[in-house]
Every structure is written in structure tokens, then in C-alpha cells.
């Protein structure tokens, strides 16, 4: 979500891999909106009103961003505008949104704006992939009772998908197991390594599918996100899920 912020309001724009679209407008108080350098009492009183107007508008923009983020489920907010206005909005966001908000280094009129936004998105995706890979590596280690909070490899993932235990699916798209053949039934949780396994489970109709396609289909149906590990691959030192497919589990 890109927020073009000024003293009078903001325009929101949602950017995805499919393009961009308008996502709303906030119109704050329009008067008074400019400061003056004169030093008499009446002017100082006017300047106080200007400050109050800015603070009111920043709060309205922050509130609207909260609503817009909840509706769009954007996982990154990019604030664009003058330093003072960006900072005022940033400071008024709730903590959970402050942590996902960045301020573009150039103003809205800069030709570098698209590059700034794309750089922010790229950095955000890389950091998220690295963070989730660290979670996976930590969860993969068995606890004192020998249980793990993560699985890897097609057979273990297929079993977890059938039982709706996948909390987050991790994929290295060029991994050797992503194109491995599995079998699926009519419903997303009907999948197996072998066709005969589906028949044992009572599924009479089945089709071959790529492992990554079948697992994504199953994960999305149960509300689990699927995340590409490609941005984190170089920094991982080769520590990626076996075959390029892994998952964090909802329960062990």
C-alpha cells in the first residue's frame, strides 16, 4: 500500500504483482494550512491552529490507513511525501502497522519514486523470507519429546496437508521436489504420494498434479500462506527445506 501524504490529506494506491489500483482518498481539514513567519500574538495563535490542523489530518490519515490495510491485507505500507508529513502519519499508526511501514526517501514528485517503492518491496520480501526460513529451521529441530514444529519433503507435507496441519507453506520454486508428481482428488485435502493411497482413503476419482501446485491448493483452502524462499536462498548457506518444499505446522 502506497500512501501519498500531504498536509491536506492522502491518496492510497495498492500495488501488487498484477499492477496497481486506487485504494482510497482522505481529505482532512483544509484551513488553516500554511504557517507564517510574523511574530505578533495573533499570528502565533494562527500558527497554533495550523499545527492543530496538521495533527488532525495526520491522525485521520493514520486511521484510514488502518482500515485500508485491514480491507486489503497489505503487508507493507510505503509513505510518500514531505518528511514532516510522513513522520506525523507514521507516529500515529498503531504499533503493528508501524512495524510494516517505511518512508520513501524521495517526495511524490520524484522520478525515483517507482524505484523507491520497488526497492522497499524487494527488501520487505527478502526480510520476510529470511525471517520465516529462520523460524522453519528452528521449528525443524525436535523438542525434548522428539516432536518437530516443521516438516519437509513431499511425503511428510502431503500427510500434513491431509490433516490441515500446515500453518505456512515454504517453497523454493527451483527445488527438485516442486515438480514431483503426486495425486489429488476432488477436494483440496485429498492428496497422496501414490494413486493407490487415495483409493485406500476412499477417493474414487484422482488426477496427477505437481507437488507444489497440490500443496498450494490445499494450503490456501485452509487459510495458510505460501511463501517463496528464493529471496532468502543466498543468505541461507544452503539451509533450505529438503527438495525445496517445507512447512511450519499448526500443531505437532
Query: What CATH number is attached to the domain comprising 33?
Result: 3.30.420.60
CATH number (domain holding residue 225): 3.30.1330.30
Q: State whether 72 and 30 are in the same domain.
A: yes
Q: Does residue 26 register a pLDDT over 60?
A: yes
Where among 110, 141, 156 does a domain terminate? Answer: 110
Q: Is residue 40 part of a domain?
A: yes
- Would residue 126 count as lying in a domain? no
119: in domain: no
Mean pLDDT within 108-130: 82
Q: Please determine, for residue 112, whether its predicted confidence score (pLDDT) is greater than 70.
A: no
Pair 152, 241 in one domain: yes
If asked whether residues 154 and 245 sit together in one domain, one would say yes
| Residue 10's pLDDT band (cuts 50, 70, 90) | very high
On whether the CB atoms of residues 220 and 123 are closer than 8 A, the answer is: no
165 against 239, higher pLDDT: 165
Per residue in 59-101, pLDDT (tens digit) is 999 999 999 999 999 999 999 998 988 999 999 999 999 989 9
Phi/psi of residue 190, nearest 5 degrees = -100, 90
Q: Is residue 159 part of a domain?
A: yes
pTM of the model: 0.77
pLDDT at residue 169 above 90?
Answer: yes
Q: Judge if 91 and 167 occupy the same domain.
A: no
Q: Which domain holds residue 237?
A: 132-249
Q: Is residue 216 part of a domain?
A: yes
Name the pLDDT band for 37 (thresholds 50, 70, 90): very low
Looking at the 3D structure of the chain, how many domains does it have?
2
Residue 104 belongs to a domain: yes
Is residue 109 very low, low, confident or very high in pLDDT (cuts 50, 70, 90)?
low
Same domain flag for 94 and 188: no
Are 136 and 105 in the same domain?
A: no
Mean pLDDT for all residues in the chain: 86
Rounded CA separation 122/120 (Å) = 6
Q: Rounded to whole angstroms, what are the CA distances from 248 to 179, 216, 245?
A: 21, 14, 11
Contact 28, 53 (CB under 8 A): yes
Amino acid at each position: 500500500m502506497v500512501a501519498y501524504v500531504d498536509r491536506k490529506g492522502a491518496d492510497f494506491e495498492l500495488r501488487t504483482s498484477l499492477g496497481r489500483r486506487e485504494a482510497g482518498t482522505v481529505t482532512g481539514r483544509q484551513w488553516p494550512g500554511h504557517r507564517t513567519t510574523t511574530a505578533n500574538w495573533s499570528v502565533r495563535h494562527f500558527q497554533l491552529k495550523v499545527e492543530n490542523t496538521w495533527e488532525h489530518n495526520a491522525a485521520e490519515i493514520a486511521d484510514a490507513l488502518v482500515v485500508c490495510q485491514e480491507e486489503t491485507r497489505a503487508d507493507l505500507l510505503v509513505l510518500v511525501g514531505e518528511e514532516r508529513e510522513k513522520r506525523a502519519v507514521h507516529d500515529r499508526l498503531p504499533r503493528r502497522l508501524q512495524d510494516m511501514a517505511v518512508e520513501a526517501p524521495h517526495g511524490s514528485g520524484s522520478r525515483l519514486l517507482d524505484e523507491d517503492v520497488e526497492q522497499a518491496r524487494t527488501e520487505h520480501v527478502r526480510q520476510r523470507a529470511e525471517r520465516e526460513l529462520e523460524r522453519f529451521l528452528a521449528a525443524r529441530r525436535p523438542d525434548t519429546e522428539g516432536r518437530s514444529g516443521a516438516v519437509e519433503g513431499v511425503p511428510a507435507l502431503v500427510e500434513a496437508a491431509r490433516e490441515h496441519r500446515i500453518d505456512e507453506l515454504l517453497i523454493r520454486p527451483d527445488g527438485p521436489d516442486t515438480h514431483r508428481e503426486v495425486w489429488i482428488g476432488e477436494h483440496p485435502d485429498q492428496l497422496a504420494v501414490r494413486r493407490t493411497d487415495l483409493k485406500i482413503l476412499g477417493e474414487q476419482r484422482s488426477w496427477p498434479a505437481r507437488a507444489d501446485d497440490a500443496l498450494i491448493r490445499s494450503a490456501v483452502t485452509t487459510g495458510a500462506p505460501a511463501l517463496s524462499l528464493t529471496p532468502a536462498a543466498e543468505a541461507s548457506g544452503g539451509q533450505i527445506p529438503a527438495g525445496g518444499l517445507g512447512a511450519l505446522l499448526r500443531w505437532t
